[in-house]
Structures are given as structure tokens and as C-alpha cells.
Amino acid sequence: MSESTTESVPSIEVTGVSILLDVVTKRFPGQEKPAVAGLTMEIPAGKIVMLVGPSGCGKTTTLKMINRLIEPSEGKIVVGGNDVTGMNGDELRRGIGYVIQAGGLFPHMTVATNIGIVPKMLGWDKARIAARVDELLELVSLDPALYRDRYPNELSGGQQQRVGVARALAADPPVLLMDEPFGAVDPITRLRLQDELLSIQEELQKTIVCVTHDFDEAVKLGDWIAIFNEGAQLVQYDTPERILAEPANEFVEDFIGSGAGLKQLTLTRVAEVGLGEAVVGKPGERAADVLSRAETAGHGHAVIVDERDRPIQWLSLRQLERLETITNVPDPKLPVVGYRATLNDALDTMLVSSAGAALVTGRRDMFKGVINVKTIMDAITKAQGAAAVQSANAPVGLNTGVFQAAAAATTGEPAQP
């Protein structure tokens, strides 16, 4: 989440706890090189930290050492101030949510049973579990009445992923580990799920460690991004803004890829730019009335919203002229983006719909305004003029024995080899 998003909800209580990987090494039997070599890394409470890096560099191994699905060979793991290295692994995992690709749901269990697994292990009674299941399904935007009794194979990939997130949150753990959670869904669904995760995080303020292959995803979701090279060498650990503005070296530059300027678009959210207003109509209204309002306002279009203020159609003056009454049939191709979406997402949506603009929705998918290409162009110009961002309170991250980074540990700055 960007700073401004966090600032807008200052009253939210942080429920996440900090995590410390303290000179952690993992050697797999029969492997010459360690998968993780002397990694020290601090993960601040209530933040989203994204782990990125080439295949095989040790991201999953690092993640799984936090809940000890993989036992570290050396070093210690501290969660919420407690050394968990010697703790009972099953007990530890009940307090840490874990989400993997495609949700990792048990196919022979219903959605409700899947979500209720950990609460059941914790001995909650049936009524409490049922209430929690419904609450979580609402949280991940699935109607409990429709979905609680389905089996995973009766759900789309995106829906399975949502259930996976709901399951990980079931016992309200302070920490959520996610391993390429949105890797298996189509790009549009992925954007939605990312927005949903940000919205959930805005509410819950967990500590989230998330592995991804997608650098844009890291920039969008991460408060901090850790870029790894082989052996979980921490090449750069910083805010998305700083990594884009000042990549530590060529490896990071290559990783960011071309178009770093355009990547600035991933740093700005739709909520942060000025939206255009629109003339709004409702189903059942006379089209002529909506038309005249649009003409009076000097607009070329009107947005039709349903009874819950969700946009369903976007009609031009010509379309309105040909209509008698406004219908309540939703247009499946309506270009809509959530207000947490990035400008990059918005641009994508516009290009796909070739509308040159998109409708923006807020909480509960309610219509908020219109974003167009010009708004986005202005934002690019502004971003390019912005000075490099200072990185305050950066968490510690270094590889003991790999880099001479001892000095960095005492300054509190992330190690920049």
C-alpha cells in the first residue's frame, strides 16, 4: 500500500506482528549451495513485504521457513518477539495464515469446511465457525449463501483463490504468508484480487509476506520489496518508489525491466488522482430526461447505476436518443476499475475496452467518477518531475557472510551490496 492510502485510515489498529529472520541458512541434503545463505531480514508489523527474484533463488524456501514448513539449518526465526525456532511446528502454523497458488483447497471438502479447518482444530464450536465462515466469505466478496456449500471444483480460479485467502484468515492470525497467490488466474481477475487484498489489508493491517514473479504486482502491493538473487541474496530491500528511482545495481535494473518510467504508473492509485464527474441515470427513467441532463452538463455520456449505485451501463448521447426507457441490463464489457487500482491497471482497462476512459468504483462497487487518458498523462508528467523519495525507517536486511554488510546493521539502513 502506498503511504497516502495508509494515511487516510490512521485509526486502524495494526494486528500484525513483526518477523525477524536472524542469520538464517537452509541447506538441502545433496545440494552443494545453500538455498538460503545467512539471510537476515526484518519484516515490520502491519506491512506487506514482497519477495521477488529469479526462479530457484530461494523465495519459497525463505517463506516456508517462517512457518517452519521448512526447518532452517541454521539461524533463528522470531515472530512477534518470540523465538519460534524451537516451538511446536503445528502450533506455530495455526497462528500463521498460508496461501498458495490456486488456493490449495482440499477438493473433497466444501468451501465452508475448508475455511473452518483451523478454527475447528482450535476447538471452536460449530455456530462460531459457521458465523466466521460467512463473515470471511463476505470479506472476500463471495456471497455466503451461494458459495459456502460448494466444492472447490465448482468454483472459478479466482473464486478458489478468494476462498484460499479466507481460509488463511480464519483464525485471525497476525501473519499471512502468500506464495504466488495470484499466479494462476487471468490478468483481469488478478487485478481484482490484488485490489481486494489491499482492501482487506486496509481493514486488518496484518503482516503479509508475499512471493511473486510479477514485479508490477510487487510495486502495487508492497510497502517494501525485497529483491533476491540466488541463495536468497538480498540485493535490494526498499520501498517500491526507491527501487524504481534508484535501483541498487544492474541486476535490479534488469529485474525491473524496461519502461521504468511507465512503471511509475504502478505507483499511483486511481484514488489519488482527480476523477471526472458524470451525469448519472437509473433504470426505469425516461431516456430523454437523462439525455437532457447530459446535454445541459455538456457531457457526451451518462452513467447508469443500479439500486445500489453500482455502474451497469455507460451510454452516449446517441444511444440515449434511440432509447425510450433506461433498462436495468448490465453491460458485461463496461470498463470499470476499483479506486485502489493503479493507473497502470486503469490504462489497461481503457485499452481493452478502447473507450479512452474508465468508470471508477469505490467501496461496495459504488460509482465514484470517471478517469480518462488525459488524467493519466498528467500523472506521468507529474511523477517524472518528482524528486527521488527519501527512505525513512527502512527495515534491516542483509546476508551475513555473503556481503560485508555489518556496518549497515548498525545504521538501521537496509544493506545495499
Pick the closer one to ligand ATP by CB: 25 or 199.
25
Q: What residue 61 binds from ligand ATP, Mg ion, none (CB within 5 to 8 A, per partner kind)?
A: ligand ATP
Pick the closer one to Mg ion by CB: 70 or 139.
70
The 3 state secondary structure assigned to the chain is CCHHHHHCCCCCCCCCCCEEEEEEEECCCCCCCCCEEEEEEEECCCCEEEEECCCCCCHHHHHHHHCCCCCCCEEEEEECCEECCCCCHHHHHHCEEEEEHHHHCCCCCCHHHHHCHHHHHCCCCHHHHHHHHHHHHHHCCCCHHHHCCCCHHHCCHHHHHHHHHHHHHCCCCCEEEEECCCCCCCHHHHHHHHHHHHHHHHHHCCEEEEECCCHHHHHHHCCEEEEEEHHHEEEEEECHHHHHHCCCCHHHHHHHCCCHHHHHHHHCEHHHCCCECCEEECCCCEHHHHHHHHHHHCCCEEEEECCCCCEEEEEEHHHHHHCCECCCCCCCCCCEEECCCEHHHHHHHHHHHCCCEEEEECHHHCEEEEEEHHHHHHHHHHHHHCCCCCCCCCCCEEEECCECCHHHHHHCCCCCC
Q: CB of residue 38 vs ligand ATP: minimum separation in angstroms? A: 15
Q: What residue 393 binds from Mg ion, ligand ATP, none (CB within 5 to 8 A, per partner kind)?
A: none
Residue 222 grid cell: 508492497
| Count of chain residues binding ligand ATP (CB under 6 A) | 10
Whether the Cβ atoms of residue 360 and residue 371 lie closer than 8 Å to each other: yes
- Quick check: 61 binds ligand ATP (CB under 6 A)? yes
Residues of span 297-356 touching ligand ATP by CB under 6 A:
none
Q: CB of residue 241 vs ligand ATP: minimum separation in angstroms? A: 24
- Quick check: 212 binds ligand ATP (CB under 6 A)? no
- Quick check: 56 binds ligand ATP (CB under 6 A)? yes
Q: CB of residue 67 vs ligand ATP: minimum separation in angstroms? A: 14
- Quick check: 35 binds ligand ATP (CB under 6 A)? yes
Q: What residue 46 binds from Mg ion, ligand ATP, none (CB within 5 to 8 A, per partner kind)?
A: none
Pick the closer one to ligand ATP by CB: 37 or 155.
37
- Quick check: 60 binds Mg ion (CB under 5 A)? yes
- Quick check: 189 binds Mg ion (CB under 5 A)? no
Q: CB of residue 50 vs Mg ion: minimum separation in angstroms? A: 13
- Quick check: 59 binds ligand ATP (CB under 6 A)? yes
- Quick check: 28 binds ligand ATP (CB under 6 A)? yes
Q: CB of residue 60 vs Mg ion: minimum separation in angstroms? A: 3
Binding segment toward ligand ATP, per CB under 6 A, in 5-13, 27-35, 72-80, 373-381: 27-35
Binding segment toward ligand ATP, per CB under 6 A, in 56-64, 88-96, 330-338, 344-352: 56-64
- Quick check: 60 binds ligand ATP (CB under 6 A)? yes
- Quick check: 319 binds Mg ion (CB under 5 A)? no
- Quick check: 55 binds ligand ATP (CB under 6 A)? yes
Which residues make up the interface to Mg ion (CB under 5 A)? 60
| Residues binding ligand ATP (CB under 6 A) | 28, 31, 35, 55-61
